[in-house]
Chains A and B, each alone.
Chain A
Amino acid sequence: MSSPDMNSPRQPAKALARVASLLSPSCKQASRLQSEGMDRPLSFFEKFGLRIHLFLCKWCRRYGEQLKFLRNAAHQCEDHQPAQKLSSEARERIKQRLQSERE
């Protein structure tokens, strides 16, 4: 086990299949990669495969643009929340509760 070729994959076919799926992800995989790319740095191979996929697939390009739109919208959604005030009942209830706590 301590020989120099310890690093070579023991199952070359499996490793190749993994590399192939990294280099050529399906739309399902690409959609997940595009989302994860917003939360963590993708690996070199993930980026490479995703680039190729996006070059070829207009649906996934759209998907990526739409995810960016959603993120931007979520960042702003608090500013667009209609003005919401505590109801006068809730206001009174909370005041009374705070008063009773102080006594």
Chain B
Amino acid sequence: MTENDSTKQLPPGTAAGQPESGKLSDPERWVEEHGDFLFKYALVRLRDAARAEDLVQETFLAALKGGKSFAGRSAEKTWLIGIMKNKIADHFRKASRETSFTDMAFYADQENDQFVADGHSQGHWLMESAPSDWSFEPGANLDSVAFWKAFRECAGKLPKNINAAFCLREIDEIETKEVCRILNISENNLWVMLHRARMALRKCLEINWFEKNA
């Protein structure tokens, strides 16, 4: 910690290997103070502990290269979360490119399987898949540890690309246009993915939570 010269700030992503120890807070302290928070943040969205650990490391590495220092701990945390958000967006963008068409086909089938395929009542709910009466007391469900376990398990079954859309829209509550920009997909495509995510999640929770606890 010999100097703290703001003129030495470097744009993110440059200058690997330059001596920059002077203007940084101690990375060890970062890991202690912010590591757990960033890990949980990534884990909620990725549901993959190994990938979440990787992203925590990538976030700190990018922060090192970005090389800023902050007066307060909360400003530092906000800055690190910003970097983490970009890392997660990159991860989601990749996931939405990589997911196979069989995943999409699976969800199309799942949707079609819930409705009458043809004839007089085409497009109506099939008897066995019509939404059942959850007759819940919403407060009671949301306080139950077991409910959240079922929720995570059901959400964990979504294919990666659909999970990406669902997380950005429903967990981070980002506007649809911005989600489309992040994932580089059309709005129409996003609406379909969200529709299928909700439909699959609803069905899974109905079977694995509401019918078991009726």
In the complex, are the beta carbons of A66 and B134 less than 8 A apart?
yes
With a cutoff of 8 Å between Cβ atoms, the chain B residues found around residue A81 in the complex are: 40, 43-44, 148, 152
In the complex, are the beta carbons of A78 and B171 less than 8 A apart?
yes
- If over half of A's interface residues share one DSSP class (helix, strand or loop), that class is named, otherwise mixed; here it is helix
- Is A32 interfacial (CB-CB < 8 Å)? yes
- Is B69 interfacial (CB-CB < 8 Å)? no
- Is A85 interfacial (CB-CB < 8 Å)? yes
What's the Cα separation between A39 and B21 when bound, in Å?
A: 46
Interface Cβ pair total, 8 Å cutoff? 140
161-201 of chain B: CB within 8 A of chain A? 166, 169-171, 173, 176, 187, 190-191, 194-195, 198-199, 201
Q: Supply 18 further A-B pairs (C-beta < 8 A) apart from A27-B124, A67-B202, A87-B53.
A: A28-B114, A28-B115, A39-B194, A40-B176, A60-B131, A66-B206, A74-B170, A77-B151, A77-B155, A80-B142, A80-B145, A80-B148, A84-B39, A90-B53, A94-B53, A98-B27, A98-B31, A102-B64
Contacts known (A59-B130, A75-B170); A84 close to B31, Cβ less than 8 A: no
In the complex, are the beta carbons of A40 and B39 less than 8 A apart?
no
Per-residue interface assignment for chain B, residues 65 to 103, with 1 indicating a CB less than 8 Å from any chain A CB and 0 otherwise = 000000000000000000000000000000000000000
With a cutoff of 8 Å between Cβ atoms, the chain A residues found around residue B176 in the complex are: 39-40
With a cutoff of 8 Å between Cβ atoms, the chain B residues found around residue A102 in the complex are: 20-21, 24, 27, 64
Contacts known (A70-B202, A86-B39); A28 close to B123, Cβ less than 8 A: yes
In the complex, are the beta carbons of B199 and A26 less than 8 A apart?
no
- Is A5 interfacial (CB-CB < 8 Å)? no
In which size bucket is the chain B interface?
35 or more
With a cutoff of 8 Å between Cβ atoms, the chain B residues found around residue A76 in the complex are: 142
With a cutoff of 8 Å between Cβ atoms, the chain A residues found around residue B40 in the complex are: 81, 83-85
What's the Cα separation between A70 and B123 when bound, in Å?
A: 23
Per-residue interface assignment for chain B, residues 123 to 156, with 1 indicating a CB less than 8 Å from any chain A CB and 0 otherwise = 1110000111110101001100100100110010
B residues bordering A, Cβ < 8 Å? 16, 20-21, 24, 27-28, 30-32, 35-36, 39-40, 43-44, 53, 56-57, 60-61, 64, 111, 114-115, 122-125, 130-134, 136, 138, 141-142, 145, 148, 151-152, 155, 166, 169-171, 173, 176, 187, 190-191, 194-195, 198-199, 201-202, 205-206
What's the Cα separation between A87 and B43 when bound, in Å?
A: 13
In the complex, are the beta carbons of B115 and A27 less than 8 A apart?
yes
Q: How far is the CB of B150 from chain A (nearest CB, A)?
A: 10
Please indicate which of the listed interface residues A62, A86, A97 has the most CB atoms of chain B within 10 Å of its own CB: A86
Number of interface residues of A (CB under 8 A): 44
A residues bordering B, Cβ < 8 Å? 26-29, 31-32, 35-36, 38-40, 59-60, 62-63, 66-67, 69-78, 80-81, 83-87, 90-91, 93-95, 97-99, 101-102
**Chain B residue at minimal CB-CB distance from A84:** B40
In the complex, are the beta carbons of B61 and A97 less than 8 A apart?
yes
In the complex, are the beta carbons of A101 and B64 less than 8 A apart?
yes
